[in-house]
Amino acid sequence: MAEVTLDVAPRVAKLLEDQSYAELVFREKNRRFDFFTKGLVTNTSSENASNAISDAVSDMSLTKMRRVCSQFDEGGSSISARLGSLDSATKAMAVNADKLIMLTRVTGILSFLNMALSLVNIGVSVVGFKRISKDLSGLSSELKEIKSSVSKLVSATESEKISDCEKLIMRFNSVSDHIQNDDVKDLDELQNLLIDMNGYLSEMIRNMINNVFSVEDTLELILRITPAYSILLAEFLRRYFFKYGKRPNNYDTFIDLYSEFFQQTVTKTLQDYFMINKNVNYLDAMDVINSVRLLALNGRTGVEDQILLAEKMETEEEYKQVDIELAALVQKEAMQA
């Protein structure tokens, strides 16, 4: 791990003296929140806590990823409860999902995962919305080609689901246009789109489990829509909190979508498909499943980080003040470059 020195106000330094690590918040150059990470406070006496955080952040190995992910297949509390109380090691893996997945051979099995990996940790920003809109527009074009070229072979149900996806993409792109133009969208409209996306993704996961459509095609659709759901959910939750000072009643329903990726029925479906239909060996098949889980976990932790950041700021004025201070730092760095 690299060491750096931070000059902070005496009040902040006093607070850090009692901590074994500091939570750091990073923003992109447009001052939008990007990601959380943790840093060790080296002058602390809490060596055990320091070592635990150090291991969680630095020990990123494929073997460890497989071991930690295997815990989700064990009994005990519900998946939703376990995802709500992740340890630092699992959270660190979620943040580094792209790096861990690239250690496997998964992208050689599922080529579309390269696109999903390019959207990991994209950040809730104008740039983030623009990149996801670009990907979804490409997906929409692909779906149109599927319907036009094999219309006679596509069932009425599958054609309907493709049309529903196209409509969701158009609605998301409309919201994205407003955000990119700094035009605040009505919260009810954002929430209604989230409700529809949540229902669609949940239904497509069930369709994949029940082999209604091609497992691989359905999985691609799910993994390419989920980043749009995540970035929109994070944006909505932040705006909702600053307007009403609380989380919406639908928060648990929105966040529980990610738990569906960890269902045993999903694991069995993917395991059977890749091992039986695709002749993939057991270890690679489990890496595919773990990659899907990590991508879902990455989306969930990104959303949770957003709402936690908003709650720590408490007021929108404080949040905006942080933006102003960060803007000044960015300008200072630009002048010194």
Residue pair 223/167 in contact (Cβ under 8 Å)? The answer is no
| 63, 162, 244, 259, 261 from 236: Cα distances, Å | 36, 25, 12, 20, 22
Token pair of 140, please?
Answer: 């929409």
What pLDDT digit, counting tens, does each position of 51-107 carry? 443 344 344 578 888 888 887 776 556 777 777 777 777 888 888 888 889 988 998
pLDDT at 202: 97
pLDDT score of 204 more than 80: yes
pLDDT at 323: 55
pLDDT higher at 163 or 205:
205
What is the residue-averaged pLDDT of the chain?
79
pLDDT of residue 251 exceeding 70: yes
Q: Is the dihedral of CA 289, 271, 225, 189 positive or negative?
A: negative
Rounded to the nearest 10°, the torsion over CA 144, 227, 260, 276 is 60
- Would you state the pLDDT for residue 52? 42
- Cα–Cα distance, 190 to 175 (Å, whole number): 8
CA distance 306 to 34: 9
Rounded to the nearest angstrom, the gap between the alpha carbon of residue 47 and the centroid of all alpha carbons in its chain is 31
- pLDDT at residue number 97: 87
Look at residue 30 and tell me whether its pLDDT is greater than 50: no
134 neighbors 227 (Cβ within 8 angstroms): no
Residues 6+ apart with CB under 8 A from 202: 257, 260
Q: Which token pair is 52?
A: 């635990």
Percent of the chain with pLDDT over 70: 71
Whole-angstrom distance, CA of residue 50 vs CA of residue 305: 22
pLDDT at 284: 93
With beta carbons less than 8 A apart as the criterion, state whether 322 and 238 touch: no
pLDDT (mean) for 313-321: 74
